[in-house]
A and B are shown apart, each in its own frame.
Chain A
Amino acid sequence: MKLTREEESALKGEQGETMQMAYRILVATGEATDAEKLIPIEWTHLAGVNYNTIGDAGEEFLSGISKNARVKVKTTLNPMGFDIDNVSNYNLDENFISKQLSIRKSYETMGVIPSFSCIPYEIFDIPKNGTQVAFAESNAAIHANSYDNLKTNKESAFSALASAITGKSPYSSLRKEDTPNITIRMNVKNPNELTYGMLGFFAGKVGDTSVNISGLGEMDNRQCKAMCGGMGTSGTCAKFIFGDGDSDCEKIDFDEKELQNIHDDLNTAEKGDIITLGSPQLGLDEISDLVGKLKGRSFKKRCMVFTPRTIKEQARKIGYTNELERAGCEILSDCCTCLTPLISKDSVDAVTTNSIKGAFYLKNSNGVDVNLKSLSQIIEDETR
């Protein structure tokens, strides 16, 4: 990798230990991904926030570097483990809460915007076409590359943090013009968000860094997010390119059979004890749609709704949160279904959700069974 004189000097430690470590991470990541140089980025989105995933080692590391490290560019943050407003309802131990608050404090000390959201593309203004960013959250990286005309690698928690501190990122394949070697042909009729989640999950398994995808009709926001969330869960692929691709591109069909295979893998229960909506977190349009669907109805069992704090505030002003609470929803900010410590197999056998990403992590990290249903089906079966 070619470094500028200033980058070399930082790597040698002439700008302090924190800068030196940040450049070591960028160089190691860049060499590992065949980047030839570092380039400036304008926005980073960090993962590695939830104490459930980064543990004591992560908490101690962040506490240590927050003494000196300050972010150089706009930096937003993934969800953490709970919503402080209602954490007392969820039986979390004191140690978890205090470690999580320490992590929060470390990020704030470094100058990070405490957005605690996995959908930065919905709650912040999108910069102009082609802007280089560095997003660690997989669904956000895929959304940024595929729908928002931004450019990002599928960053690790560490490379994104190093990018926040230095304002730079390795110039790897997804920042350049990437030509996928595979085209997925969508061949399932009448798809809902579950179908698109599974299509994304399938694409992540067969794709390398990017995939072409053809045969898609009009998709709403929920379906786009489901597809990004699904793909981020199953592989390292981080961009959809919409179209047939070159004629010599390998073509693979996503049909009823593939759909059924993934469904059988991820759907492990006939019914759930509770319902979760959000992974990715719900945006305002999804909240509004949910309020509409719940008119005159209420849930027969607990339903956890995950949404960013800023969206919850907007929803409160419009009156949506009242409506949702009336229908029996628990509204949670700052956290998400994915890797939540709020659902444990001690108290819950199975969860009903419309999220493929949520299903994967509920099963593999929380160890609970999952019952997959589209939102319309959930409303039909689980409310009265």
Chain B
Amino acid sequence: MKVLVSGKVQGIVLKSKDSINFLGTVDKKTGIISDKNHDLFEKSLKDTILVFPSGIGSSVGAYTIYSIKTNNTAPLAMICKKADLTVATGCALANIPLIIISDEEFSSIESGMNMSLDTDSTDPLHYP
């Protein structure tokens, strides 16, 4: 596990099997996925713990992450399998906790789970 942006939150998991291109597929006002080919189509990212493989696409997508945070429609935290610079810098700009986890851990997480995350703890993920 690797901590890219630290923080402490508790919330419900929203998991995607698809990668996310923040520039093209996330509405920067509502935080809703607008790409009908995406498995989170019409789902809102607001106040979720967003679990997805990685970010893809233009680095300008980092501004989208910053925008949804400013509009109060951002996830509480993000968890990825693979680090990418767009999501890393976007979460850093917006101060959204971001961690990278192993493939096994990634497969064990499911949408709807209640999760608490504390990056300062030696065991950051809990399911109360």
**Chain A residues within CB distance 8 Å of chain B:** 21, 24-25, 27-29, 31-33, 48, 53-55, 57-58, 61, 156-159
Contacts and interface: CB of A to CB of B under 8 A. Distances in A.
A157 B23 CA distance: 15
Contact of B92 (A28, A54, A55, A57): A28
A292 to B, nearest CB: 39
Nearest to A157: B59
A264 to B, nearest CB: 25
Given A24-B92, A158-B92, A32 B60 contact: no
B28 A158 contact: no
B93 to A, nearest CB: 6
A158 B98 contact: no
Contact of B63 (A27, A29, A33, A55): A55
A55 B59 CA distance: 13
Interface string B100-122: 00000000000000000000000
Interface of B: 2-5, 28, 59-60, 62-64, 66-67, 83-86, 88-89, 91-93, 95, 98
A32 B63 contact: no
A57 B93 contact: no
B51 to A, nearest CB: 17
Contacts of A25: 89, 92-93
A21 B94 CA distance: 8
B93 A27 contact: no
Contact of A57 (B67, B89, B95, B98): B67
B28 A32 contact: no
Nearest to B62: A158
B89 A55 contact: no
8 contacts: A24-B95, A29-B88, A29-B92, A31-B2, A156-B89, A158-B62, A158-B92, A158-B93
A28 B95 contact: no
A58 B60 contact: yes
A31 B93 contact: no
Contact of B5 (A24, A156, A157): A24
Contacts of B5: 24, 27-28
A61 B63 contact: yes
Contacts of A55: 60, 63
A296 B102 CA distance: 67
A158 B60 CA distance: 9
A61 B90 CA distance: 12
A158 B92 CA distance: 10
Contact of B66 (A28, A29, A61): A61
A25 B4 CA distance: 9
Contacts of B64: 57
A55 B88 CA distance: 20
Contacts of A58: 60, 63
Given A28-B98, A31-B2, A159 B93 contact: no
Interface centre among B63, B64, B66, B67 (most CB of A within 10 A): B63
A31 B84 CA distance: 10
Given A57-B63, A156-B59, A27 B4 contact: yes
A28 B60 contact: no
A116 B57 CA distance: 25
Given A57-B28, A61-B66, A27 B92 contact: yes
A159 B90 CA distance: 11
Contacts of A32: 4, 83-85, 88
A25 B85 CA distance: 10
A29 B3 CA distance: 11
Contacts of A31: 2-4, 83, 88
B85 A29 contact: yes
Given A29-B88, A156-B85, A54 B63 contact: yes
Nearest 8 CB-CB pairs, A to B?
Answer: A57-B63, A32-B83, A158-B89, A24-B92, A28-B88, A28-B92, A25-B92, A28-B4
